[in-house]
């Protein structure tokens, strides 16, 4: 059983894995509330991944995480982390900035958008979709919200492959309409619905094989 717990109203969040006896077996630590959790075999290897989505505090963006149960830090009864290594490293070797995973994709806030819309960070829709790709693989579809106020649709939809790589993004109609309004009113000279801006934005995302809690975008692209 998997359980997410947050220190409300603050950002530290934990994912716990419990065994069949009800005892905790592993834990993951994250800075930013984790809003969505599911199990899915993304790469058709017969071993399901734990898929998590939530807020990434340091970048004012989103976290998309894929990992296996055996990558979680073993849980210690007294709450202190213990080694996850067969080599028998000490508990003090645990590093929250080096928690292993299949991938941790960080999608930062779009530069310039908060000055126009006033929203300080990206929002999630609290659900993910999984699209058949090739060879039994599934791509993950991430709904991203940037506009203030409740709506039935998300603002951007990002597609990510099982390696944590962006393979496509588009803006939904309400965001495109708002972007045209901002331009027409002279509120910005950036078309936040254009393919050029979206491509540059997603190239700013970072994907690593460890949980990166402190990463902040400097506006540079990854390629």
pLDDT for 166 equals 94
Quote the strand ranges of 60-205, DSSP E: 61-67, 73-74, 100-107, 123-132, 138-145, 156-160, 166-171
Half-sphere exposure of 41 (CA within 13 A, CB side): 7
Residue 114: both structure tokens together: 């908060």
Strand arrangement of the beta sheet that strand 100-107 belongs to: 34-40, 49-56, 61-67, 100-107, 206-210
pLDDT for 87 equals 45
Residue 105: both structure tokens together: 């994709």
Burial class (CB in 10 A: 0-12, 13-18, 19+), 133: middle
| CA separation for the pair 168, 158 (Å, rounded) | 6
Q: Coil, strand, or helix at residue 131?
A: strand
For 10: left if phi > 0, alpha if psi spans -120 to 50, otherwise beta; the answer is beta
**Nearest CA to 51 among 86, 84, 110, 4?**
4
**186 to 116, 147, 196: CA distances (angstroms):** 10, 18, 19
| CA separation for the pair 35, 51 (Å, rounded) | 11
| CA separation for the pair 61, 11 (Å, rounded) | 13
Query: What average pLDDT values come out for the chain (223 residues) when binned by 10 residues?
Result: 81 86 87 91 94 93 94 71 49 77 95 87 84 92 87 89 94 94 95 95 94 81 52
How open is the CA angle 29-8-104, to the nearest 5 degrees?
Answer: 30
pLDDT for 67 equals 94
Of the chain, the end-to-end C-alpha distance in Å amounts to: 39
Distance of CA 211 to the CA centre of its chain: 10
The residue with tokens 């073993």 is: 74
């Amino acid at each position: 059983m998997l359980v997410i717990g947050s220190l409300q109203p603050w950002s530290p969040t934990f994912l716990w894995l419990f065994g069949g006896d009800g005892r905790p077996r592993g834990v993951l630590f994250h800075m930013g509330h984790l809003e969505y959790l599911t199990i899915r075999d993304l790469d058709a290897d017969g071993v399901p991944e734990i898929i998590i989505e939530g807020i990434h505090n340091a970048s004012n963006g989103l976290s998309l995480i894929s990992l296996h149960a055996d990558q979680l830090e073993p849980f210690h009864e007294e709450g202190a982390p213990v080694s996850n290594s067969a080599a028998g490293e000490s508990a003090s070797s645990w590093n929250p900035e080096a928690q292993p995973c299949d991938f941790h994709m960080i999608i930062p806030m779009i530069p310039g958008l908060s000055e126009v819309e006033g929203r300080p960070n990206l929002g999630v829709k609290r659900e993910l979709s999984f699209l058949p790709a090739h060879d039994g693989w599934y791509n993950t579809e991430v709904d991203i919200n940037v506009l203030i106020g409740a709506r039935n649709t998300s603002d951007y939809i990002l597609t990510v492959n099982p390696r944590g790589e962006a393979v496509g993004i588009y803006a939904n109609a309400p965001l495109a309409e708002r972007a045209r309004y901002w331009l027409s009113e002279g509120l910005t000279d950036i078309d936040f619905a254009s393919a050029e801006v979206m491509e540059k934005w997603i190239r700013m995302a970072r994907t690593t094989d460890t949980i990166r809690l402190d990463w902040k975008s400097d506006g540079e692209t990854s390629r």
